């Protein structure tokens, strides 16, 4: 039986005296496309940082690719760079990870760190520029781009190294409708290649397009886990996780009747519709 990509058991993590993850257990298998949903403060971003090796569990057990996901193991250069080659994270705010003078240089950064030869790097950059419709921007400074363009550059800079696992933190946040639709189309249509994709999002409207499994988080742990369709129709679960709310309608006879609605959440975790 193949080892899970990630296996977390009763993991705790505290951030600034706040329990960001509390007794969280989760198994992720190769090739799964998972969405993490939950209100602001539920632990989604912290979980992505842990899965990407940027933070480590304070207690409990965490494994990646069958090996301990610990700070001590990352002190071994081979283990550290081996993990970095296999796992890529795209932050919610692309300005955090875009720091090179041009788009071309930004996309080239990862392969240069991995020691690829120049012909391979140039060919891979051209492929990513075309893939993300960035060719006309290759000489532009990333910080001068629009939000949607920055997101595409960040994705290209991560995907160029062909990671086995792609982690996305709020990929549609702050995008205009056209940029959002382009990104969702890419995630829906171009990642069915065996890559494991885990996306944290407040945008419930995109779940069925980009994933097959939904993990609901609240209070730093998993409160629901299953096929996206089943999770979206579990109104009690969504209400408990503050992902839905009720509209009260008054019928002709004057009696009120409540209907539960699922809406996209804004970046602060508030429902809107």
Cα 151 to Cα 95, 170, 174, 184, 227, distances in angstroms: 9, 11, 10, 12, 27
The continuous run of DSSP H or E covering 33 comes out as strand 33-37
Model pTM above 0.85: yes
Among 126-140, 177-191, 202-216, which is the least confidently predicted range?
177-191
* pLDDT of 266 higher than 90: no
Please report which confidence band the pLDDT of residue 186 belongs to, taking 50, 70 and 90 as the band edges: confident
* pLDDT of 43 higher than 90: yes
Please report which confidence band the pLDDT of residue 208 belongs to, taking 50, 70 and 90 as the band edges: very high
Are the CB atoms for 38 and 243 separated by under 8 Å?
yes
Angle at which helix 147-159 crosses helix 177-189, to 10 degrees, equals 20
> SS3 helix, strand, coil % of the chain, rounded to 5?
35, 30, 35
What pLDDT shows up at residue 191? Answer: 57
Please report which confidence band the pLDDT of residue 13 belongs to, taking 50, 70 and 90 as the band edges: very high
Task: Give the mean model confidence (pLDDT) for residues 19-45.
Answer: 95
Q: How much of the chain, in percent, has pLDDT values that exceed 70?
A: 88
Please report which confidence band the pLDDT of residue 155 belongs to, taking 50, 70 and 90 as the band edges: very high
* pLDDT of 265 higher than 50: no
Query: Checking DSSP bridges between strand 213-218 and strand 196-200, what pairing results, if any?
Result: unpaired
Task: Give the mean model confidence (pLDDT) for residues 177-192.
Answer: 81
What pLDDT shows up at residue 190? Answer: 63
Return the domain boundaries, the chain. Answer: 6-262
Where does 6-262 sit in CATH, by number?
Answer: 3.40.50.300
* pLDDT of 189 higher than 90: no
* pLDDT of 179 higher than 90: no
Between vectors from CA 95 to CA 91 and to CA 101, what angle results, nearest 5°? Answer: 125
* pLDDT of 253 higher than 70: no
Report the Cα 215 to chain-centroid distance in Å.
12
Candidates 245, 248, 247, 236; CA nearest to 269 is 245
Task: Give the mean model confidence (pLDDT) for residues 23-35.
Answer: 96
Candidates 16, 18, 5, 31; CA nearest to 213 is 31
Mean confidence (pLDDT) of the chain = 87
């Amino acid at each position: 039986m193949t080892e899970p990509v990630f296996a977390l058991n009763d993991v705790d993590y505290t951030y600034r005296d706040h329990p960001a993850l509390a007794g969280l257990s989760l198994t992720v298998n190769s090739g799964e496309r998972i969405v993490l949903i939950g209100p602001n403060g539920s632990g989604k971003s912290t979980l992505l940082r842990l899965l990407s090796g940027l933070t480590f569990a304070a207690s409990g057990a965490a494994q990646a690719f069958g090996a301990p996901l610990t700070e001590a193991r990352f002190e071994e250069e081979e283990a550290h760079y081996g993990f970095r080659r296999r796992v890529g994270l795209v932050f919610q705010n692309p300005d955090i990870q875009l720091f090179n003078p041009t788009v071309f240089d930004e996309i080239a950064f990862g392969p240069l760190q991995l020691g690829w030869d120049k012909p391979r790097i140039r060919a891979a950059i051209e492929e990513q520029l075309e893939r993300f419709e960035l060719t006309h921007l290759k000489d532009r400074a990333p910080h001068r781009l629009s939000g949607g363009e920055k997101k595409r550059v960040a994705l290209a800079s991560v995907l160029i190294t062909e990671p086995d696992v792609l982690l996305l933190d709020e990929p549609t946040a702050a995008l205009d409708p056209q940029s959002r639709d382009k990104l969702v189309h890419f995630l829906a249509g171009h990642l069915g290649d065996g890559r494991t994709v885990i996306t944290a999002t407040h945008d419930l409207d995109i779940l069925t397009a980009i994933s097959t499994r939904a993990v609901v988080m609240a209070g730093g742990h998993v409160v629901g886990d299953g096929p996206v369709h089943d999770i979206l129709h579990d109104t009690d679960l969504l209400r408990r996780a503050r992902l839905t709310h009720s509209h009260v309608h008054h019928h002709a006879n004057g009696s009120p009747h409540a209907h539960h609605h699922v809406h996209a959440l804004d970046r602060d975790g508030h429902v809107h519709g």
